[in-house]
Every structure is written in structure tokens, then in C-alpha cells.
Structure 1
């Protein structure tokens, strides 16, 4: 926890956790992986520094993943090969692990920053 910030309450922890875990809906409904953390960030960023941090981190991570998927898809179309296909399960599993870890940290009252993430939203 940051020294200057008050400890987050139970509701703040739950919303922060949901900002990390609800983007899993993106596997069922395309685009939800970005929409969910964006909505949480836009609606709660002025109410809580804790939620602001976690929703922004989740949003940046989901944007980074989406861009990575778009680049992978473009390379597949240009190269018309299966060279990059074995990397897909590794990236998906790594993303799931990082999202679950971030959700656990958020529910525990800790700040978390995703590794391998471009910070688009500051």
C-alpha cells in the first residue's frame, strides 16, 4: 500500500478485484475485456485512488493484450503459416495467471502493476 493513501475498504477491494477479473468476459463477448475496466475506471476513478489505480492497470493490460493479438493476427495473415501458433497457448496462460494474480492482490488490499504492459492510460 502507498504510505499517503488510506487503506481501502471492502467495497473498494471488491471493485478493484472485479476490474481485473471481469475482463475474462472478453473470451465470451469480444471487446468486453476493454469495456469493463474502462467503465469501472471512468465511473470510480474520482471516488477512490485504489480503484483508480487497479482499473487503470487492468485497462492498460487489456489494451496491450488486444494490440498483441491484433499484431499476431496480422502476422499470421501475412506469413500464412503456423510459425506463431504455438505461442498462443503460452500467452493466454500467462495472461490468465497475471489477471488472477492481480485480482488476488487487489482483493488483499495491495497495489499491483502488470509486467510486460504498456501504460496507455495514465
Structure 2
């Protein structure tokens, strides 16, 4: 017997804020800033309004910053350009989750610069 029951997604801006801020776990653990948002996204995307869009944006940003970091390593030997790139990445990885957490608390969609759309 098929059910016509559709779950309504709840609005939970606080969980969206926590999901964005969980990226800062990168500074305490190596991959915590990727794993924590991934777990929150996978477990809550069907239950929380906007979690799918926020989660995808976060994961695309985290994966993009990881790729840029790896690509920066050989650039260190090219006039120190890689060092500047790594500094920029470090600033973005710290500042953008905070900015997007504020946006999430206001019900706005996130925007992460330089993100490659790996997950759509």
C-alpha cells in the first residue's frame, strides 16, 4: 500500500548556521571542516528547508579550497606565488563560513567565491 504522506521540511536556520560554522573545525582537525558539514547535509537535507543548497555550497567550497591548496604547493617554487595563494585560501576558509553563517541566520542563500561546482 503506497502512502501519499509527504514530509514537510522544517525551517531551522540555527542548524544551517551550525553547518556553516562547522567548517571552522578545519583549524582543530585536518578534515573536520569537510566531514562535519557532510554528515549534517546528508542526514538533514530531506528534513530541513534549504539544507540541500547550503550543504552543496559548503562541500563545493571545501573541495575547491582543497584543490587550490594542492595546486598551490608547486607554485611555492615559482617566486613564492604559492605562499600568497595559501594565505588567501587560509583567509577565505576562515572568513567565508562566518559570513555565510550570518546569511543563513537571516534566511539568505550562501555564496562562496572561487567554488567549483563539483556537487550540483
Shift of 1:94: 2.9
Query: 1:23 corresponds to which residue?
Result: 23
- Please name the residue that 2:114 is paired with: 116
1:73-112 equivalences in 2 (<5 Å): 73-76=73-76, 79=77, 82-112=80-110
SS of match in other structure, 1:86? helix
The alpha carbon displacement at 1:34 in A equals 1.1
The structure having more radius of gyration, on CA atoms, is 2
Q: Which protein has greater RCO, CA pairs closer than 8 Å, 6+ apart?
A: 1
Gaps of 5+ in 1: 1-5
Does the aligned pair in 2 maintain the 1:23–1:32 contact within 8 Å?
yes
Contact 1:22 1:33 in 2 (8 A): yes
Query: How far has the Cα of 1:84 moved from its partner?
Result: 2.3
Match of 2:3 in 1: none
Aligned 1:8-47 pairs, distance under 5 A: 9=11, 12-47=12-47
* Shift in alpha-carbon separation, 1:101–1:93, aligned structure 2, 3 A: same
CA distance in 2, matches of 1:82, 1:115: 23
How far, CA to CA, are the matches of 1:35 and 1:65 in structure 2? 14
Structure 2: give runs of 5+ residues left out of the alignment.
1-7
TM-score (norm 1): 0.79
- Give the whole-Å Cα distance in 2 for the aligned partners of 1:61 and 1:110: 17
The corresponding residue for 1:3 is none
Name the TM-score, length of structure 2 as normaliser.
Answer: 0.80
For 1:18 and 1:96, the matched residues in 2 are separated by 14
Deviation at 1:96, TM superposition (A): 2.1
